[in-house]
Amino acid sequence: MTMDVAEYARLRRDTKRENEVADWLRGIKESERVKFLKELAELNAFAATILIRKSQLEPVSLAVFLRYGLKVGDASSVNWWIQATHAGLGPKKLLAELRSQISTNPEGVDKALYFIPQYFVDDEKYQSSARSFRSEFRKIHPGYVRPEQGHLS
């Protein structure tokens, strides 16, 4: 089976097809999976995040996709990228990856901070880590306001 990325990007959502494509992706080399998913992400981010979650990528590849999502995602779609990568990264690596982006991508990290607590609802240790990470972000970027938010008059 081969898959045309542009064709797949145009298709309506179909969970049966998603599962078939995810099975195909899991059967090819990691580098080919990443290439396909990067191309798909540029054409249809939502479809890409669904397949990223189902494709059993290595943590290093998941971190690349998380960074990409933090860079290109808007205030709500950044959550798609977190959803797609958090299970494979785990809470410790997810927070470490976000922490690594504080200086280079404060806008993406700020967007992610809104969603992060929901991923640690059942884990007090990581809830605490998420809270301290938020405090760390605020210390590094006091009064940070995302460019699209503007300032209140």
How do residues 16-39 score in pLDDT, each as one tens digit?
999 999 999 999 999 999 999 999
DSSP alpha helix (H) spans, 1-153: 5-10, 15-26, 30-43, 45-54, 59-72, 78-100, 106-115, 124-140
How do residues 65-78 score in pLDDT, each as one tens digit?
999 999 999 989 99
Amino acid at 40: L
Q: What are phi and psi of 51, to 5 degrees?
A: -75, -35
Of the candidates 124, 133, 55, the residue with the CA atom closest to the CA atom of residue 94: 133
Q: What confidence score (pLDDT) does residue 1 get? A: 65
The CA dihedral of 19, 23, 29, 30, to the nearest 10 degrees, is 40
Q: What confidence score (pLDDT) does residue 143 get? A: 81
| Between residues 102 and 146, the one the model is more confident about | 102
With a cut of 50, say whether residue 151 has pLDDT above it. Answer: no
With a cut of 80, say whether residue 152 has pLDDT above it. Answer: no
Q: Tell me how far apart the alpha carbons of residues 15 and 138 are, in angstroms, rounded to a whole number.
A: 40
Of the candidates 115, 58, 114, the residue with the CA atom closest to the CA atom of residue 83: 115
